[in-house]
Chains A and B, each alone.
Chain A
């Protein structure tokens, strides 16, 4: 399996993603500079966390118009799997690969903490190593992470089984108290129609190592390796 990590000037989780990918794949991913319009062939494209171009406009809004994103969108539409984490999720919605938008957290503050997520489906190439309905602990770190879409879109996402993860209680209950940022219907991550593009606010790459007080994120990378070899 090969992977490309897109590096925007303000990306700051690119190294973390590369470390997690390398641990799972056994080889380093290709780091692709945002100004490049050439994107190497790879089995997976990762849009990492950070502040792409400073995000002074709207998170991910400028990145969606960068040269490299034109190629990412083309590849994604042709079926190449794409994983967008945090700022990467924001870029995916801004570039139209995923519906909805990430708004300012309900608290209006940046939030960094571990949260519990319920795995809403495990029949995808990103989640095959998780059990259906499993509750996993993954950190969030964002100010603009409240997922918003209109009711029709939310109904469609649910109807098409495209919600990837929801914020939940320890027992798996999806409650307002478990919602850290005011996301509609506790949505933490969603898929595109074909299940090949995943965007999520939590950071699986931050918990892939027992020294970092958890390994629940490692299963996502293991799932990708299992499916994409």
Chain B
């Protein structure tokens, strides 16, 4: 066989240009020749090109990712499968992952974002889980950039339409605007599913002579070389890459979801893998490699959407809504009946073998015959050179100009692009379908009930790119800590995270240094907070003509609430309640939203993260929530304490009368400083004693902020800021921007 394939290769004569176009360096091609023992056919070159791409092989990031903590008593499956799995008790488990779809979303925002959402949901239901919540983390360029409005509109619509049609609630996320994303937006989608812990499916195709089955949509020419595109920088001609963007069909994915779950309830499946990046190629390689078998594919049986496609095109197509499965012997009729019921294509396209090779035939010709280890394990692993960034000096609060009025500055911040309400976005997402959304968008974390139980899953996506840009290590630490804090603020016990590592070109030592720093920061925080990484995704080459995005390690966390009746929200519940700040105040204004909005610049070190204080404060807050001592909780993050208070007031339409700032630091640093490990809580006065005692035990400082009352934010010496005025400023910016800019 390889003789025939070798003959085809020699006949084709692969030029150096062709090899370079496939993203393979001369060294990598030499390695390919050594692995294969001969020249590849064009089809084989295509297969190697995608399997060895950064996107599929993690060749630049792997050595560092291996240093992250991935285990814990709560972890059922860590990285390596389609998604991570954590234990929820009672035989239930949560399956989750976050993934990027950055490059396609910039080129074609609607389809790029939609298929990103579709892809991440397939990763989750491939494992047997029913998706129960989606989230997304979006980074756009500056509002004044000419393309931003178009990209926001397309991405949000694409995310919404796909999830809405699937009937999976999109329960929250985060959105940033920053000029450093002008030419490389980020679209990171997260999906969380529920599964019985003893019914988890994996991709391993164990067993020889088993049928390999293709189900779902037909194959077309869309998305060819998507994985290779996602492994290169953009240049002036990137818009011409539009044909490499896939096209989504959420209705077909809904059918695929239901059909797969129905088949999974039968005893029919050995292994299952969705066709995502690099389509049929990576799914078949993955399944055979994990199962320790070979695989023969006959492309003549692949359901086709268009005629005349070559083996090369069929193997590299990234047509959406497709799955590959290996069935138990004799299970084909059950599977065929179910897929027929749902109106989906079903075809046996090959079988597992004992050859240890991937063998592909088309029109009776052997198009590829490659030892699987060469594809799955021989990809080069790079320890790329890297340099650590010099730390920026901390800025003293006294050196940051104070505003004329504290409440005036609050109104500016709350109405700025950075803190304005994201309602225009999340109202395009069906966040209520499945009727288990017990905490809607707008709080610290979204909470979905575990269907039919009192348990709740808290979910949050976090990273503060401006902190990471200033100090990748401290910024990544902060991202993990903030995610943990957001889950904790609802009363949830944080379980684990998924990460989506968005960076520039790793072949530049300073970018590789950002990546290394971020991994180090994550490792520290995940370890200190018992918050392991169970799944993730790396997106490199997010840069255009030398301009890279800020390092953006997006963290998606999941936590468990034992009884949703004890869950906390940010909404103030009752006039007369006290408002308390828990956590140490240092008045850190470097890299703050205050600086960004009021001074139109960012400087200095980001706030340091004290993981010990984070742990002590969070554990105390969680206990207070569960015991019912606090009536509302909000973590302190962008914009500091006063922004947290304003968000609590707006979400309940209750005002607050504030005590003056205590005076240890300048007043504006006290109100707008972004010191970490802090929460604002509300409590009835008779609970104050219990809170002070708990705080003393945990060695957490407490400051009385004020009292819940009235219809304004009131601060001595200034005119009260009416909630109606604040609300208008907060709600107005995004709709107005989207309407006219």
Q: Give me the interface of A with B, judged by CB distance under 8 Å.
A: 9-13, 15-16, 19-20, 35, 49-51, 53-56, 109-113, 139, 141, 143, 203, 205-206, 208-209, 211-213
CB distance from B562 to the nearest CB of A (A): 14
Q: How far does the alpha carbon of A109 sit from the alpha carbon of B341 in the complex, in Å? A: 32
**8 cross-chain CB contacts under 8 A:** A9-B343, A54-B250, A110-B157, A112-B428, A112-B431, A139-B432, A211-B438, A213-B438
**Segment of B59-67, B251-259, B646-654, B708-716 in the binding face:** B251-259
B599 at the interface (CB under 8 A from A): no
Partner of B428, one of A111, A208, A213: A111
Partner of A109, one of B157, B250, B564: B157
CB distance from B193 to the nearest CB of A (A): 15
Q: Is the CB of A10 within 8 A of B251?
A: yes
Residues of A within 8 A of B258 (CB): 9
Q: Is the CB of B438 within 8 A of A110?
A: no
Contact mask for chain B residues 441-463; partner A; CB cutoff 8 A; 1 contact, 0 none: 00000000100000000000000
Q: Is the CB of B433 within 8 A of A9?
A: no
Q: How far does the alpha carbon of A206 sit from the alpha carbon of B164 in the complex, in Å? A: 15
Contacts A9-B255, A110-B161 supplied; 15 other A-B pairs, CB < 8 Å: A9-B254, A12-B166, A15-B434, A16-B433, A19-B435, A49-B433, A51-B251, A54-B250, A112-B429, A112-B431, A141-B164, A141-B430, A211-B449, A211-B564, A211-B565
Size range of the chain B interface in the assembly: 20 to 34
User: What 9 A-B pairs have minimum CB-CB distances, sorted nearest first?
Assistant: A12-B167, A54-B251, A16-B435, A141-B430, A110-B428, A51-B165, A112-B430, A110-B160, A206-B432
CB distance from B156 to the nearest CB of A (A): 9
Partner of A141, one of B249, B250, B433, B436: B433
CB distance from B105 to the nearest CB of A (A): 18
Shortest Cβ distance from A11 into B: residue: B167
Q: Is the CB of A53 within 8 A of B432?
A: no
B440 at the interface (CB under 8 A from A): yes
Q: Is the CB of B430 within 8 A of A209?
A: no
Residues of B within 8 A of A109 (CB): 157, 428
CB distance from A65 to the nearest CB of B (A): 15
Q: Is the CB of B343 within 8 A of A203?
A: no
B386 at the interface (CB under 8 A from A): no
Contact mask for chain B residues 347-381; partner A; CB cutoff 8 A; 1 contact, 0 none: 00000000000000000000000000000000000
Q: Give me the interface of B with A, judged by CB distance under 8 Å.
A: 157, 160-161, 164-167, 249-252, 254-255, 258, 341-343, 426-438, 440, 449, 564-565
Q: How far does the alpha carbon of A205 sit from the alpha carbon of B157 in the complex, in Å? A: 25
Chain B CB count within 10 A is highest, among A9, A15, A55, A203, for A9
Residues of B within 8 A of A208 (CB): 435
Q: How far does the alpha carbon of A113 sit from the alpha carbon of B427 in the complex, in Å? A: 6
Q: Is the CB of A13 within 8 A of B433?
A: yes
Residues of A within 8 A of B166 (CB): 12
Q: Is the CB of B427 within 8 A of A112?
A: yes
Residues of B within 8 A of A213 (CB): 438, 440
Q: Is the CB of B428 within 8 A of A13?
A: no
Residues of B within 8 A of A53 (CB): 251
Shortest Cβ distance from B735 into A: residue: A107
Q: Is the CB of B343 within 8 A of A205?
A: no
Q: Is the CB of B165 within 8 A of A111?
A: no
Residues of A within 8 A of B440 (CB): 213
Residues of B within 8 A of A143 (CB): 161, 164
Q: How far does the alpha carbon of A143 sit from the alpha carbon of B251 in the complex, in Å? A: 15
Partner of A13, one of B167, B249, B343: B167
Shortest Cβ distance from A54 into B: residue: B251
Partner of A9, one of B342, B435, B437: B342
Q: How far does the alpha carbon of A49 sit from the alpha carbon of B250 in the complex, in Å? A: 16
